[in-house]
Structure 1
């Protein structure tokens, strides 16, 4: 009786081992199938090569113009502002340079300019103490006192178009302008809009 056949226990052991192997293989297969399916349905979230850049390139922006007042004269020699679209600029110097380049080309409307033809902008600087405008010698030629006062006003008002309170320092070929024209219109430096109106009574 003590030597009974142990095969029932061995058979049970084999059954347990076989079942465990099948369970492990089944679980592994299920995991593999799940991962494969998940990759197909969510390819971006599982792909480390597809990432958003830290500094994405900004969209291309269309340059817009710069609107500035240029100053002309009407038939009564009154200074008239006209809003003008100019090329976009990055600095005040660029804005005012574009403004003067347009002003010195003359008016194509009903208003007119007292600034002589061929007058050129030699240089323009915007500093803490005002706007410095340097014009060519043509600016001082031709016309009587009314023309001189009118062209001076055009320059003073256009130069201060970004800041109406800004003083304007006016020179011709690098030399401070003290007298304008043959009649000797005295120019105070710096000139402001208020000072211009006080001295010449033109608005």
Structure 2
């Protein structure tokens, strides 16, 4: 059976158009600052040294970046990240109760679990994780932390102070 030159040309054109279309779709699906967020966990550097370090998470189309960042922070590091030395100081029972945004501020409401289970070092580190994650996403207005609907002033039994509005601290 003979295939005409015209049919071959048409098939080649269809293939080229499809390939170009796929290339454009791939180009448009790349990671950009709008569809990723940084989430901060604790990374074991060596036997006795840790630091707060970021990992990235994709933001699904139509999702709010802060909501994704906080949800991922509270989930904790992935298994792969755990194998690479990442962990969290935030208690696994901590729940995001809400995010309230007004024209001049944002209030993040977490369950009281955030301020329990651990000493002052753990509290300081979890505040860093939280503050760094939130302030990486929100840079244009002050952010405040509430625990079960009440302004967080101190957390933990030793009373680690929560600076309001939130700040990145070293």
TM-score by length of 2: 0.69
Aligned to 1:100: 70
Unaligned runs of 5+ in 1: 1-60
RMSD value over aligned CA atoms?
2.3
- Provide the secondary structure at the position in 2 that maps to 1:74: strand
Q: Does 1:86 pair with 2:55?
A: no
Alpha-carbon distance, 1:132 to partner:
1.4
Asked if structure 2 preserves the Cα contact closer than 8 Å seen for 1:165 and 1:192, the reply is: no
2-side partners of 1:112 and 1:180: how far apart?
A: 20
2:154 aligns to what?
179
Contact persistence 1:116–1:142 (CA under 8 A): yes
Q: Say which of 139, 155, 164 aligns to 2:130.
A: 155
Contact 1:131 1:159 in 2 (8 A): no
Superposition map of 1:25-40 within 5 A:
none
Distance 1:71 1:166, change over 3 A: farther
SS at match of 1:182: coil
Match of 1:11 in 2: none
The Cα shift of 1:168 comes to: 2.1
Task: Say which structure, 1 or 2, has more relative contact order (CA 8 Å, 6+ apart).
Answer: 2
Residues 158, 166 of structure 1: alpha-carbon distance in 2 compared, 3 angstrom cutoff? farther
Shift of residue 127, structure 1, vs aligned partner: 3.2
Q: 1:74 to 1:165 in 2, by over 3 A?
A: farther
Give aligned pairs, total: 132
The answer for the alignment partner of 1:73 in structure 2 is: 42
1:192 to 161, 167, 170: 167
In structure 1, the residue matched to 2:89 is 114
Equivalent position of 1:24 in the other structure: none
1:131 touches 1:166 (CA, 8 Å); kept in 2? Answer: yes
The structure carrying a bigger strand percent of its residues is 2
CA displacement, residues 130-160 of structure 1 (integer Å, 9 cap, x when unaligned): 3311000111111111110111111111111
* Structure exhibiting the larger radius of gyration computed from Cα positions: 1
Q: Contact conserved, 1:71 with 1:82, CA < 8 A, in 2? A: yes
Asked whether the equivalents of residues 66 and 138 of structure 2 are also in contact (C-alpha less than 8 Å), the reply is no
3-state secondary structure, aligned to 2:124:
helix
* 4+ long deviations beyond 4 Å: 61-65
